[in-house]
Amino acid sequence: MNNTVQLLPLEDNDREQFIIDNQEAFNFGAMEEFGFRDKHFAEEGQIISRDTIQQSIDGGEAYRIVSEEGKVVGGVVIKVKGEKGDLDLLFVSPHVHSKGIGYAAWCEVEKLHPEVRIWETVTPYFEQRNIHFYVNRCGFHIVEFFNRFHPDPNDSDMHCEEIDEQFADGMFRFEKTICLKV
């Protein structure tokens, strides 16, 4: 599907709704995989904590994904430093999954920062939908698998026993290298 979306900078008065929408989208993936027996929640009833989302927003560039019809359908947070970009959060409302919105949003992110040569992101091992999206749709490659035997050296939380509680089976790290067009 060829959807057109806009990335609009997150406004302060939309911050709370952004957090709620992000949690809803992430919970959907966990519930789809594990049902109500899910033990991966970071805080009561949430697969991603409010604090994690707030830190992401505060440390990066946050955008709302807006559909052709002008409806808010998701959000994205990125961090860019020179030629390196980090996709911190990308979520699409479960109500509009499989309509090409996530891919269209990703294309807009790449246009927003043409200076970035290497994009990186992570996702939990169980998020098959995300793995398909990043690898098969967006052109990322799985380059590392963080788990209790191979913790992420940049994540101090992974070096403690708590990782066994939320993501005992680990996280995939993805990279996408953007080639210069000649």
Residue 109 lies in a domain: yes
Low-confidence spans in the chain with pLDDT less than 70: 1-2, 29-45, 47, 155-168, 182
Question: What is the per-residue pLDDT for 163?
Answer: 43
Q: How many domains does the chain have?
A: 1
Contact assessment for residue 160 and residue 151, using Cβ atoms and an 8 Å cutoff: no
Question: What is the per-residue pLDDT for 167?
Answer: 53
Task: Supply the CATH number for residue 38's domain.
Answer: 3.40.630.30
Residue 1 lies in a domain: no
Q: Which pTM was predicted?
A: 0.83
User: Which of 65, 73, 87 lies closest to 24, judged by CA?
Assistant: 73
Helix, coil or strand: residue 171: strand
Residue 42 lies in a domain: yes
**Per-residue pLDDT tens digits for 120-157:** 999 888 788 899 999 999 999 999 987 788 777 776 55
Question: What is the per-residue pLDDT for 118?
Answer: 98
**Can you give the residue range of the structural domain that contains 27?**
6-177
Q: What is the mean pLDDT of the chain?
A: 85
Residue 63 lies in a domain: yes
